[in-house]
Amino acid sequence: MGQISLLIFSAFAIITVLSFGVRKQRQVQRVLRLRSLDWERVARSLFHQPSAAAMVPADKLTLILNEVLAELDLNYALIGFHEAGTMRVLHVSSRGYAAPLPFRVGARVPDSHTYAGALKGNQKTIVIDAASLSPWREHPAFQALGWEAYLAVKRPGPGETFLSVACFSTRPREISFTAVEKRFLQDGAAWIERLVQEQAAQEASPQFINTRSERYSPELVTT
């Protein structure tokens, strides 16, 4: 019995040490990644490729959102246009996962059923590391879909309308979102907004106009 107990204890100790080593390695990798997490660098690597010039806006959105998801280590990205208490889904991307059924492109979802609906007034960012361990566990988005980790930013439009860019996952974050990651998504959202407008112009559909953007001067699309 003594030898068996010793073997069990030794195995447990080895597993504990290995687990600690894996966690430590992940932390080191994350620190190194955050040091190089810069939107301008990502944008240059994506759009300075010869093939990028021939891409339609929808394909560029997919490319850019997939890169954002990889950098943030999340699974889904969703762009929504919010007006009169409703979000219209403009684009959905994922890292090999099917889009959540209620959030397919073109769907209209009450703001009360998505975390991004809380981006009202002066609220510019939503950061959730683990919804199940926070008051967000009472939110319909968590109860219906189990969204755990969530990071979203807002691009204001005319009046009370706005564009939301959200990245999320059904598993909680091992390490909380950092200020660097928040800034990364905020910078990326300006590019994403422009691509949304380009796509709207291409499809001759009503366009989201951001009158506060200082990075570009979008043209009004008429139908």
CA-to-CA dists, residue 48 to 43, 45, 66, angstroms: 8, 6, 17
Predicted confidence (pLDDT) per residue in 28-64, tens digit:
455 445 555 788 887 777 777 777 778 888 899 998 9
**Measured over all CA atoms, what is the biggest interatomic distance in the chain, rounded to whole angstroms?**
82
Q: Region 108-122: what's the mean pLDDT?
A: 93
In sequence order, what are the residues at sequence separation of 6 or more whose Cβ sits closer than 8 angstroms to the Cβ of residue 78? Answer: 89, 91, 92, 93, 103, 116, 164, 165, 166, 167, 168
Q: Region 78-87: what's the mean pLDDT?
A: 95
Residue 169 — φ and ψ, nearest 5°?
-150, 155
What is the structure's pLDDT at 223?
Answer: 24
DSSP reduced 3-state for 7: helix
What is the structure's pLDDT at 161?
Answer: 95
Q: For the chain, give the percent of residues with pLDDT over 90.
A: 51
**Looking at the predicted structure, is the pLDDT value of residue 23 above 70?**
no
Q: Region 138-151: what's the mean pLDDT?
A: 93
Indicate the range of 48-52, 68-72, 80-84, 164-168 predicted with least confidence.
48-52
What is the structure's pLDDT at 102?
Answer: 65
**Rg (Cα) of the chain, in Å, rounded?**
21
Query: 50 versus 169: which is more confidently predicted?
Result: 169
Q: Which of 13-17, 20-24, 60-64, 218-222 has the highest mean pLDDT?
A: 60-64
Q: Region 70-91: what's the mean pLDDT?
A: 94
What is the structure's pLDDT at 115?
Answer: 96
Predicted confidence (pLDDT) per residue in 200-220, tens digit:
888 765 444 443 333 333 332
Residue 93 β-bridge partners: 77
CA dist 90 and 146 (Å) reads 22
